[in-house]
């Protein structure tokens, strides 16, 4: 049995669609009764819909361009106003910066002419972290800082606290290690006991399964031998009964009455029928002659009907050709009228361009309808 793959289903679906489309096309083309007089109205309707869609698309495109132009004008106005505000803010920021950070006292040479220079001057040493206490100044030596005693006391307390903390952490780590080792040994013992119990259960289950399988196989073998013995005995009895029925029946004795059916005198049993009588053969030949005459009559009627359809098809083709010629003449007249109207509009717009403030765009031409 073959399994259908997804790509096989897709191929079968595409073939079915193509076959259905071909059958619909043949039915539409070769069925003269359902065709319209020489034209395809579906194609015409499709062309009309396409023309309307094209006009709607063109109109939407023009509207989109107009909306974009309006949006660009708004954005340009907004950007110009933003630029003016930024220029004004920059000028204001420059003035504020000059007033705040470019004062006279911030200049490089102000300390040379500062009248309060002596009052603002600092002592030689204010603290241990004074950046003015350089090596060449000789204002600070090793061990002569102002908070030497406090710093030394703090360092001693800090060392004492660090030592106590290290001892506590060492004791806590030892206790945690002892607890972890005890838990590990208990878990190993529990796992060993569980594995031993599971192993014993597995061995007992395996023994029970083997015993059940052996007993099942023994029963199957016994039942198979008994079934074969019964089948052989039944087959021998059936063969003997069939031979006896054939020897005593009407099949080998060629009895014509054995073909009579219980459903009526006009019906027979096919597997017992020995042939027809002369009257039945004559009746069949007579019916065949009647069927031949009826077939000839139907063929003659079909030939006459086909001739009628051919004549109607030729007449419809002629009328369609006349209608197409008339439509072409009407389209030609309409095209000439549109050309004249476009020419007049172009002249009028060209004359408007001569005046001040007039539009310089090209002439607006009327679109001619597409030929179908």
Name the pLDDT band for 347 (thresholds 50, 70, 90).
Answer: confident
pLDDT at site 370: 44
Residue 37 has pLDDT above 60, yes or no: no
* Helical H segments across the chain, by residue range: 6-30, 41-101, 117-120, 148-248, 278-352
Name the pLDDT band for 332 (thresholds 50, 70, 90).
Answer: very high
pLDDT at site 246: 73
pLDDT at site 371: 42
Which of 38-42, 136-140, 254-258 comes out lowest in average pLDDT?
38-42
Average pLDDT over residues 322-329: 90
Residue 299 has pLDDT above 80, yes or no: yes
pLDDT at site 354: 67
pLDDT at site 355: 58
- Tens-place pLDDT, residues 105-117: 787 788 787 778 7
pLDDT at site 359: 44
Non-local (6+) Cβ contacts of 258 within 8 A are 250, 251, 269, 272
CB of 363 closer than 8 Å to CB of 349 = yes
C-alpha dihedral sign at 50, 54, 55, 57: positive
Residue 39 has pLDDT above 70, yes or no: no
């Amino acid at each position: 049995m073959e399994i259908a793959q997804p790509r096989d289903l897709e191929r079968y679906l595409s073939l079915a669609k193509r076959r259905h489309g071909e059958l619909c096309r043949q039915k539409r083309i070769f069925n003269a009764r359902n065709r319209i007089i020489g034209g395809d109205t579906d194609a015409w309707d499709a062309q009309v819909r396409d023309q309307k869609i094209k006009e709607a698309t063109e109109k939407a495109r023009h509207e989109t361009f107009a909306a974009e132009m309006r949006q660009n004008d708004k954005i340009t106005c907004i950007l110009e106003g933003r630029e003016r505000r930024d220029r004004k803010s920059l000028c204001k920021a420059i003035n504020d910066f000059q007033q705040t950070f470019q004062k006279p006292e911030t200049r490089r040479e102000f300390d040379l002419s500062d009248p309060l220079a002596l009052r603002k001057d600092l002592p030689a040493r204010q603290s241990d972290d004074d950046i003015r206490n350089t090596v060449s100044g000789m204002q600070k030596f090793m061990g002569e800082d102002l908070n030497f005693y406090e710093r030394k006391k703090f360092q001693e307390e800090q060392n004492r606290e660090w030592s106590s903390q290290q001892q506590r952490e060492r004791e806590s780590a030892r206790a945690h290690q002892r607890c972890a080792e005890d838990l590990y040994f208990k878990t190993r013992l529990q796992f060993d006991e569980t594995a031993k119990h599971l192993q014993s259960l597995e061995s007992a289950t395996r023994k029970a399964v083997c015993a059940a399988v052996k007993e099942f196989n023994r029963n199957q073998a016994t039942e198979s031998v008994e079934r074969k013995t019964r089948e052989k005995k039944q087959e021998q009895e059936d063969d003997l009964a069939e031979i006896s029925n054939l020897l005593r029946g009407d099949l080998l004795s060629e009895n014509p009455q054995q073909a009579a059916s219980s459903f009526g005198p006009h019906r027979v049993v096919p597997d017992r029928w020995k042939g027809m009588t002369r009257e039945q053969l004559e009746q069949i030949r007579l019916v065949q002659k009647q069927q031949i005459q009826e077939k000839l009559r139907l063929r003659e009627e079909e030939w006459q009907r086909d001739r009628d359809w051919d004549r109607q098809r030729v007449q419809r083709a002629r009328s369609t050709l006349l209608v197409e010629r008339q439509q072409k003449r009407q389209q030609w007249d309409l095209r000439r009228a549109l050309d004249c109207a476009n020419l007049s509009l172009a002249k009028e717009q060209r004359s408007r361009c001569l005046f001040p403030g007039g539009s310089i765009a090209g002439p607006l031409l009327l679109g001619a309808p597409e030929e179908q």
